[in-house]
Amino acid sequence: MAEPRGTFATLAPWLRLLGRRRNRLLAGAGLMALALASALGLLALSGWFIAATGLAGIALAAGGAMTLDVYVPGGGIRGFAVTRTAARYAERLYNHDTVLRLLADLRGRMFAVLAGLDGQTLSRRRASDWLNRLTADIDTLDSLFLRLLAPAAVALLAILALAGGLAIGSPAAGLTVGGLLGAAWAWLTLGQARLGLAASRRRVDELERLRGRLIEQLQGLAELEAYGGLAAARRRLEAIEEALYADQRRLGHFAALGTALAGLAVGLGWLSALWLAALAWQAGAVSGPVMVMMPLAVMAMSEALGALPMAFTQFGATLAAAERLNTLDGARRDAGGAASLPAGAPRLVVEDLSLRYPEALTAVFDGFSLTLAPGERLAVHGVSGSGKSSLAALATGQLAPGRGVVSLAGLPIEAIAPEALAEHVACLTQHTELFDDSLAANLRLGAPGADDARLWAVLEIVELGDWAEALPGGLATRVGEGGRRLSGGQARRVALARLLLRDPGLVILDEPFAGLDSALAGRLAPRLDAWLEGRSVLYLVHERAEQTALPGVDRWQSLASEEAKGFVAPSGIFQDGARH
């Protein structure tokens, strides 16, 4: 279990990430400060102008002579009003755009982290939990700049500036107001954060539990109804909801307390400023309009302090989200070594392998060994759950064995640089991974630099050329999320075409012709055979008897312990329903 970290240490990785857009953040904070300064100036100048015109009117009514330039302060008031409106609009627009960019940075970083997690780590949590990390936790972190750092910093600067301005007319007023508002600022940030820390942290965990339970209930709705477990499942959801509501009410009370204290601090501040300014006026230190201006300027600080209570009451949620994402970042295995792989077909050796997934009832492997010679084609067969996919993950460095050695070209798999593995090892898994993008973009995942002519060539090999030409947008046609616009066989062939764009030394094919009819598989097998020439090939199949189209298998090996010796076929002729 990870050791507890301080608040700054927890937020430090995310502060560094914010620092990459330092200029945009400073510009956004500047717009926020400009809007607040305009509000302060508008209220203060309006107070001065009203008082000055009132005194001028009294003087004129008494028969005295007095001049007052109404155009300059009137223009200033209009300027502050327009600037405040424009700055507020620009600040909201600009800062929200910045936050969206930051969220994209955060999600890109965490998606890379998730992609680098090994199978054992991924198996410790539900898929909904990982999705929650990528979405809800990162959404919670967007408050770090927009609601926490920037407003608090701007409010503190405004308090210092206001106190300094008041001190010019009355040092006592400046010190008193600065002290009152400074104490209020400290409570509204540090105090409110401490007050709501536990409840806001719990809400993050409870929301994750609620999402996970709800997804499970929806997925298993038929079974729960059939076995009479729906009422119990509903009660569990209601218990989580009740806990969430209780914490939400508690946080609402804390935020209301903070808002009341902010209002009280501003009220005491302007009352103190009025009293001390009146004393200064009585002593002849300030004029009457300036005396009125001073407390009105303090009243404008309610805009600076008003947003702090709610944001900092929820600080625990931001901290908890950062802790969870830090844990996720720390869950990555060492990124691997720096060794490169030689060109050509490598030797794959698995020796005395043991592997058990967390909380699994049985081990996947226990003393399993396998050798694939350079240029050899080995077909490993086993029933579902026997470890075929785990073997592929071990051979590609995505999974670390509990005991034993997995080596490639004489190098331990953990010593090989991930970039070298990605270049020299290609894997066609059972699950066809397609993204909601164009057909060309999905193919170019295998070879980013491939031109259209090469894409059409591999589509012809898998007999999808005519189909792709008939599409409305050709190669630019979107395939839908997960390839849902394609049939299962088409999606499988697109994945195979993507594989053919690569030039690996080791090829791992997990049920390569799954979902294809035997006639089509028979036509594709010779073409695949030609592409596999000179490469080391590891086939992963369910049953030997069903794989009559696998091209050029040299040897079979079972994942069942009693059959682990392997079977070498004489002269490439296979028995038991394999190719004759």
161 in a domain, yes or no?
Answer: yes
Whether residue 325 is found in the same domain as residue 406 = no
Whether residue 307 is found in the same domain as residue 210 = yes
Q: What is the predicted pLDDT for the residue at 5?
A: 60
Q: What is the predicted pLDDT for the residue at 455?
A: 92
Whether residue 554 is found in the same domain as residue 427 = yes
Average pLDDT, the chain: 83
Whether residue 87 is found in the same domain as residue 117 = yes
Who has greater pLDDT, 310 or 8?
Answer: 310
Given a cut of 60, is residue 491 above it in pLDDT?
yes
Whether residue 326 is found in the same domain as residue 358 = no
Residues ≥6 apart with Cβ < 8 Å to 425: 395, 396, 408, 504, 505, 506, 507, 508
Torsion angle of C-alpha atoms 36, 38, 40, 44, degrees rounded to 10: 180
Q: What percent of the chain has pLDDT over 90?
A: 27
Q: At residue 547, what is the residue type?
A: Q
Phi, psi for residue 567 in degrees, rounded to 5: -135, 120
Who has greater pLDDT, 453 or 580?
Answer: 453
Q: Using CA atoms, how far apart are residues 573 and 553, in angstroms rounded to an integer?
A: 9
Q: At residue 459, what is the residue type?
A: L
Domain of 412, CATH number, reads 3.40.50.300
Q: Using CA atoms, how far apart are residues 272 and 527, in angstroms rounded to an integer?
A: 88
Whether residue 353 is found in the same domain as residue 310 = no
387-423: pLDDT as tens digits: 888 888 888 887 777 788 888 888 888 888 877 888 8
Averaged pLDDT, 435-443: 89
Whether residue 361 is found in the same domain as residue 265 = no
Q: What is the predicted pLDDT for the residue at 573?
A: 29
Q: What percent of the chain has pLDDT over 70?
A: 90
Residues ≥6 apart with Cβ < 8 Å to 78: none
What's the pTM? 0.68
Least confident range from 56-60, 430-434, 508-512, 561-565: namely 561-565
Phi, psi for residue 188 in degrees, rounded to 5: -70, -20
342 in a domain, yes or no?
Answer: no
Averaged pLDDT, 543-551: 63
340 in a domain, yes or no?
Answer: no
Whether residue 109 is found in the same domain as residue 168 = yes
Whether residue 320 is found in the same domain as residue 460 = no
Q: What is the predicted pLDDT for the residue at 124?
A: 67
335 in a domain, yes or no?
Answer: no
Least confident range from 1-15, 493-507, 561-575: namely 561-575
Last residue of a domain, one of 330, 362, 386: 330
315-332: pLDDT as tens digits: 998 888 888 888 776 655
Q: Using CA atoms, how far apart are residues 125 and 324, in angstroms rounded to an integer?
A: 13
258 in a domain, yes or no?
Answer: yes
Whether residue 501 is found in the same domain as residue 557 = yes
Q: How many CB atoms lie within 10 A of CB 538?
A: 24
Residue 308: domain span: 7-330
Given a cut of 70, is residue 180 above it in pLDDT?
yes
Last residue of a domain, one of 271, 301, 330: 330
Q: Using CA atoms, how far apart are residues 54 and 48, in angstroms rounded to an integer?
A: 10
The H or E element containing residue 380 is: strand 377-381
Averaged pLDDT, 254-266: 95
339 in a domain, yes or no?
Answer: no
Q: How many CB atoms lie within 10 A of CB 170?
A: 24
Q: Using CA atoms, how far apart are residues 330 and 324, in angstroms rounded to an integer?
A: 10
183-224: pLDDT as tens digits: 999 999 999 999 999 999 998 888 888 888 888 888 888 888
Q: What is the number of structural domains in the chain?
A: 2
Q: Choose from 37-51, 246-260, 543-557 the range with maximum mean pLDDT.
A: 246-260
77-105: pLDDT as tens digits: 999 999 999 999 999 999 888 888 888 87
Q: Using CA atoms, how far apart are residues 315 and 190, in angstroms rounded to an integer?
A: 10
2 in a domain, yes or no?
Answer: no
Averaged pLDDT, 6-31: 86
Q: What is the predicted pLDDT for the residue at 324?
A: 80
Q: Give the HSE-up count for residue 570: Cα atoms under 13 Å, Cβ half-sphere.
A: 0
Least confident range from 347-356, 405-414, 548-557: namely 548-557
Whether residue 436 is found in the same domain as residue 559 = yes
Last residue of a domain, one of 277, 300, 330: 330
**What are the C-alpha distances in Å from 251 to residues 205, 245, 267?**
15, 10, 24
Residues ≥6 apart with Cβ < 8 Å to 104: none
301-311: pLDDT as tens digits: 998 998 899 99
Q: What is the predicted pLDDT for the residue at 118?
A: 63
Given a cut of 80, is residue 281 above it in pLDDT?
yes
Nearest to 146 by CA among 296, 29, 42: 29
Whether residue 283 is found in the same domain as residue 355 = no
Q: What is the predicted pLDDT for the residue at 564?
A: 39
CB 496 within 8 A of CB 513: no
168 in a domain, yes or no?
Answer: yes
Q: What is the predicted pLDDT for the residue at 577?
A: 30
Domain of 126, CATH number, reads 1.20.1560.10
Q: What is the predicted pLDDT for the residue at 555?
A: 86
Nearest to 268 by CA among 306, 303, 307, 295: 295
Given a cut of 70, is residue 560 above it in pLDDT?
no
